[in-house]
Amino acid sequence: MALTRKFLAALGIEESKIESIIDAHTETVDALKKERDGYKAEAEKLPKVQEDLKKAQAAAKDSGEYDKLKKEFDDYKADVAGKELLAKKTAALKEIAKDAGLSEAGIAKALKYHDFSKLELDEKDGIRDKSAVIKGLKEEWPEYIQTTRTRGASTPNPPTQENGGGGDRGTSRAAQIYKEHYAALYGAQEKGANEK
């Protein structure tokens, strides 16, 4: 349905207002037509722009620029992936070296000289064959393996009979009991009478 003077008059709108409505409507329609024509002109240019783009891509390919840029990008991606993998392998080897009992200096040497290309990771970023790697580290770096020893307490004054300790080491416990019993019954015994 078109917006005409006849339609507006049938609606009962005054003649002076009809003229204003028609003028405003005409301005709106003209603006829309102008915008449409601009889009149409742009759309008509599109095939030429696409053709120019294809020519530019072909020229870049022919000149090797495209291949060069693609190679640089692929190399960059591979480098980043390689660094990530090396970091994961390094962390996993460090943990295994600790399990193998290597000292900090040994771990540093193992990380510096290990052939990471032979190291395989599992799905949890751990080393796949841990026992073989531990064995290899122990064989390659034995001088860096830490050993732990359990020692008793250091006693600068060991217990002796004089300081209330364990008694005479040269005499058996049975002999000590005999001496104590004899002394209780007959009094203190002279040194050397029954001692050996």
Tell me the helix, strand and coil percentages in the chain, rounded to 5.
Answer: 65, 0, 30
Count CB neighbours of 102 within 10 A.
Answer: 26
User: Domain segments of the chain: what residues?
Assistant: 8-60, 68-144
First to last CA, the chain: 139
Distance (Å, whole) CA 181 – CA 25: 134
Distance (Å, whole) CA 116 – CA 100: 17
Return the SS3 of 102. strand
Higher pLDDT, 181 or 167: 181
Tens digit of each residue's pLDDT (9 = 90 or more) over 67-112: 788 888 889 899 898 889 888 888 888 888 888 888 888 888 888 8
Residues 6+ away with beta carbon under 8 Å from 67: 61
Distance (Å, whole) CA 102 – CA 39: 74
The one-letter amino acid at 79: D
Where does the pLDDT of residue 170 fall: very low under 50, low under 70, confident under 90, or very high at 90 and above? low
According to the per-residue pLDDT averaged within each range, which of 56-65, 71-80, 187-196 is highest? 71-80
Looking at residue 39, its pLDDT comes to 86
Q: What is the mean pLDDT of residues 145-167?
A: 65
Virtual CA dihedral for 90, 140, 121, 88, nearest 10 degrees? 0
The one-letter amino acid at 130: K
Helical pair 65-99 and 104-113, crossing angle rounded to 10 deg: 150
Q: What angle do CA 58, 44, 28 make, to 5 degrees?
A: 145
